[in-house]
Amino acid sequence: MATSGTYVTEVPLKGTAEKHYKMWRNDNHLFPDVVGHHIQGVTVHEGEWDSHGSIKIWNYTLDGKEEVFKERREMDDENKTTKVIGLEGHIMEQFKVCEFDYKFIPKSEDDCVCKITMIWEKHNDESPEPSSYMKFVKSMVVDLEDHILKA
């Protein structure tokens, strides 16, 4: 079993890359209302909602279990990419490194793709690979689409 790796997936979405990127960059405070079945709460621990380097604490449900994730956020407006770097929480008990990149790529005037890249490194061989976390974030991207189209 690998001790580190990278998962990559592309999620086709309706709506512009700009609208999707804005949701991930600026509107995290809306996630509990929009995708409450995934995210029950998010708070800013340091910085502002939309500031580069801000630190947020997320309360979420994965496979029926409530978990917490503390992360630092980096934004690249030119490439419409948000990087989430894991600092503490349930996932960080198993992994030394856990990063998610969400890159929103225009495909047409009204459609885009979200390229999700997850980089991970386990503390030890006994920890399972984080495929459930990749499925979770992919599902969240898909489930946010309806809200973005209505906005």
The pLDDT of residue 65 is above 90: yes
Of 29, 40, 35, 26, residue with least CA distance to 82: 26
10-26 pLDDT per residue, tens: 999 999 999 999 999 99
Sketch out the chain's domains with CATH numbers: 4-150 (3.30.530.20)
Q: Is 126 helix (H, G, I), strand (E, B) or coil?
A: coil
Q: Which are the contacts of 12, defined by CB distance < 8 A and separation ≥ 6?
A: 107, 111, 112, 113
Q: What is residue 82's predicted lDDT score, i.e. its pLDDT?
A: 97
Q: What is residue 44's predicted lDDT score, i.e. its pLDDT?
A: 96
Segment 86-115 mean pLDDT: 96
Prediction pTM value? 0.94
What's the rounded Cα separation, in Å, for the pair 108 and 90? 38
Confidence of residue 102 (pLDDT cuts 50, 70, 90): very high
